[in-house]
Amino acid sequence: MKLSTPIYNLKRRAKALSRQEQIPLHAALDRIAQGEGIQNWSLLASHVASRSPTTEMLELIAPGELVLLGARPGQGKTKMGVDIVAKSIQKGNHGWFFTLEWNQDDVEEQLRLLGEENICSSDQYHFDGSDSISAAYIIDKLSNSATGTMAVVDYLQLLDQKRNTPDLSEQVNDLKAFARKQKIIIICVSQIDRSYEYTDKLTPSFNDVRLPNPLDLTLFDRACFLHNGNVTYAEAH
């Protein structure tokens, strides 16, 4: 069952309902759950917990979107990117994994750990670890892609490393325009600044994205942030 909106938005609705109608929060939560077609909040929470972050993210994004996937090192952002490619292929789409960080053996080992080793031999699976990866390179490779194709770029900040490529802002703008025109999904895995670790926030936000050079993050349609098993989703404003 697909929820009408992520669970954190449902919690906000319940809190607002509790204040508005002066009812206990647990009663408001149950009412919100019933509006989603689930008997009570406990069952709804169990339903959400049984789904992986990848499944939930794939329900939120749509062809034509540019998405950011951010976390500190060791939080599983690249692994989630691999999982997203695999699950997109399972749904019948082509999936591309562009990386300047991992090699092909790394990615295929991760697919095996996910129980998705059959993806490695699929004609719909495409790995690209070229040193030439940039927005222009990605656009050229995906120029004939069908609607719904999934491309994961690992990772955003490495697009900004070469002197012979346009600045990061221009590259991201080009990726956004191309995704929209081609009706494909492009997900950029992103580093999070170390300063985030000195905050008390459950997960990072757009404000924590590591940006050695200026970049308008509203170019992204939405984002997913990970930390210590917690996941949040955000729309760019």
- Give domain limits for the chain: 7-49, 53-235
Is-contact 69 204, C-beta < 8 A?
no
Is-contact 193 157, C-beta < 8 A?
no
The token pair at 189 is 């895995």
The token pair at 79 is 């692994």
Give the pTM.
0.81
DSSP calls for 85-124: HHHHHHTT--EEEEESS--HHHHHHHHHHTT-GGGGG-TT
- The correct answer on CATH 3.90.550.10 for the domain covering 53-235 is no
In this prediction, residue 7 carries a pLDDT of 75
Grouped pLDDT means (10 residues each) for the chain, 237 residues:
76 93 95 94 79 87 97 95 96 96 94 90 97 97 98 96 92 98 98 96 96 95 93 87
In this prediction, residue 35 carries a pLDDT of 95
> Would residue 73 be called left, alpha or beta, if left means φ above 0 and alpha means ψ between -120 and 50 degrees?
beta
The token pair at 177 is 């325009």
